[in-house]
Structure 1
Amino acid sequence: MDVVTIGESMALFTPNTEGKMRYANTFSRKFAGAETNIAIGLQRLGYQTGWISRIGEDELGEALLSFVRGEGVDVSQVTRDASLPTGVYFKELRHEQDVRVYYYRAGSAASQLSQKDIDEKYIANARYLHVTGITPALSETCYETIMYAISLANKHNVPVVFDPNIRVKLWSSKEKAREVIKTIAKRADIVLPGVSEAQYIFGDYTISEYANFFLENGPSKVVLKEGSKGAHYFTKNESGFVPSFSVDRVVDPVGAGDGFAAGFLSGLLEGLSMEDAVTRGNAVGAMVTMVNGDVEGLPSMEEIHYFIQRDKEDVRR
């Protein structure tokens, strides 16, 4: 297995019309979650991924499992829960510059992930373990599960990739969020925060200082994402900045960070340099914003190469 990831995915309902959701009469149903977004993105790029989670023993859960399995992701480590439901959320597209997301995940099956849901051999056989800051915010047992999975990865020399993916409303306090994010970052090998997330964790500093805060405490690679501007990458021996790709029209920005992670990780799996891996991450992130939905815009490798080449040709004109 190339990448194993752990976390909650949910049924996603989006109004079929733009504007305030209160006026919507019909919705489209899709499925999404940071961890499965990344797993599906990597599958489309030719890599093998596995997803560890819990779903409700309900129709939405069965549909979610079927969807993720249909994308090629291994779901053998997903547990059905007869007592708790599959989570849902709504995406409100008021207009292109105002996209709002509403989660209904309290008491969901995935919020009760525990250490018994983790198979040590499954983690040990992965090339990377990917986790986000969303899962440990869901409950104390979820936090314990993530820390247990990380300890197994550390034990078996499986590099840990950590995307803070901070959801402020999930945390009981800013102090708790900072404490947990810092704790996980220290145990990770690769950290992928946004610049605004680094500011949330550490306060007001320069981008280089944010990178040093992470590098001095454990990770060997740090990528600080700066939205439409691009991304900064740092190791103990090199650093650089890769500008983003131009997008004529952003249809849906949700999921762009997950697209970046999938593209970047595929570059590392392929043995690309940090600069080239970040370039690919930027490309996938940009492509995701051009399509409505979290995974609908995730590209194949051929589509990435075409997108990057087209951008180069546009720059030369």
Structure 2
Amino acid sequence: MDVVTIGETMTLFTPKESGMLRHAKSFSMQFGGAESNVAIGLNRLGYQSRWISRLGEDEFGDAMESFIRGEGVDVSHVTRDKIAPTGVFFKEFRRMNDTRVYYYRKESAASKMSPEMLNEDAISDATFLHLTGITPALSKSCRDTMEKAISLAKNSGTQIVFDPNLRLKIWQDEESARHFIKMYAAASNIVLPGLEEAEFLFGVSTPEEYVKQFHSIGCNTVIMKLGKEGSIISSSSVPITRVKGFTVERVIDPIGAGDAFAAGVLSGLIDGIGLHEAARRGNAMGALVTMVNGDSEGLPNRRDLELFMNGNMIDVMR
């Protein structure tokens, strides 16, 4: 197994009309979650991934598990909850470059994840364990699950990749968010922060200084997202270096770009192509996803990714 990831995925309702959500009359049903997006992105590129979560014993849970399994992701460690429901969320395309997201996930099945869900077989065969800062914000039992996953990964030699993926609305308070995100980042081999997350953790500074701050708390490898500017990389063997991004003429839906970036970076690390090229692949994945509506719908296959990275966009759009 190349990558195992743990976290909540929800049923996503997207209005077919632009404008305020109150005026929407019809919706399409999709699925979205940072961890499953990463798993799907990796599978589309030809890698093996496993997604671990807890779903409600309901129609949304059935549809979601079927969809993710259909993408080739291993869902054998997904459990069901007979009482708590599968979470849902809504997107709102108010106007150009103004996409808003509304979550209805309190007391969801995924918030009931517990350490008992995880056994050694769930993680020990993986090269990487991918975690985000969303999961520990959901509940105390989810934090306990994260800690067990980290412990299992360290015992089996699985490398831990952590994306802070800050969602302040679901944290109890800012201080708790800051404490736990720093703790999980320090326990990881590789951290994938964004600029806003770094500012939240360390205050106003430059990207290069943020990278040094992450190193100072124990992060060996830092790959920071800089939006359309690309990313910045650093490790014990690689000096702080900026990696140029890819130009996108029109952004349709920016949600999920960070997850695509993570999938691209992980694919590069699996291939052993070096930190710079792995970040470049992540930049390309993130750019491609913004051109398609949906969390996972824009994740490319390997051929389309290579064409885009080589500047053959016209072939990708055929």
Give the structure-1-normalised TM-score: 0.97
Q: 1:267: how far off?
A: 0.4
* Structure 1 counterpart of 2:261, one-letter code: F
How many equivalent pairs are there?
Answer: 313
Does residue 246 in structure 1 map to residue 247 in structure 2? yes
Aligned mates of 2:96, 2:168 — CA distance in 1: 23
CA deviations over 1:26-76 (Å, ceiling 9, x no partner): 000000100000000000001000011000000000000000000000000
Gaps of 5+ in 2: none
Q: Percent identity?
A: 53
Q: Name the residue aligned to 2:173.
A: 173
Query: Are the equivalent residues in 1 in contact too, given 2:162–2:190 (CA < 8 A)?
Result: yes
Which aligned pairs between 1:126-275 and structure 2 lie closer than 5 A? 126-238=126-238, 239-275=240-276
Query: Are the equivalent residues in 1 in contact too, given 2:182–2:217 (CA < 8 A)?
Result: no
Q: Name the residue aligned to 1:308.
A: 309
Query: Are the equivalent residues in 2 in contact too, given 1:21–1:92 (CA < 8 A)?
Result: yes
Q: Name the residue aligned to 2:92.
A: 92
Q: Secondary structure of the residue that 2:278 maps to in structure 1? A: helix
Aligned mates of 2:33, 2:182 — CA distance in 1: 22
Aligned mates of 1:248, 1:208 — CA distance in 2: 28
Q: Name the residue aligned to 2:62.
A: 62
Gaps of 5+ in 1: none
* 1:242–1:156 CA distance, 2 compared to 1 (3 A): same
Query: Are the equivalent residues in 2 in contact too, given 1:245–1:311 (CA < 8 A)?
Result: no
Aligned mates of 1:21, 1:80 — CA distance in 2: 31
Query: Are the equivalent residues in 2 in contact too, given 1:96–1:252 (CA < 8 A)?
Result: no
Deviating beyond 6 angstroms after TM superposition, the runs of 4 or more aligned structure 1 residues are none
Query: Are the equivalent residues in 2 in contact too, given 1:215–1:236 (CA < 8 A)?
Result: no
Q: Name the residue aligned to 2:77.
A: 77
CA deviations over 1:272-312 (Å, ceiling 9, x no partner): 11110011000000000000001110001111110011169
Query: Are the equivalent residues in 1 in contact too, given 2:91–2:99 (CA < 8 A)?
Result: yes
Q: 1:6: how far off?
A: 0.2
Q: 1:226: how far off?
A: 1.0
Aligned mates of 2:173, 2:284 — CA distance in 1: 34
Aligned mates of 2:162, 2:147 — CA distance in 1: 12
Q: 1:172: how far off?
A: 1.2
* Structure 1 counterpart of 2:189, one-letter code: D
Aligned mates of 1:121, 1:304 — CA distance in 2: 32
CA deviations over 1:87-119 (Å, ceiling 9, x no partner): 000010112210000000001000010000112
Aligned mates of 1:152, 1:297 — CA distance in 2: 33
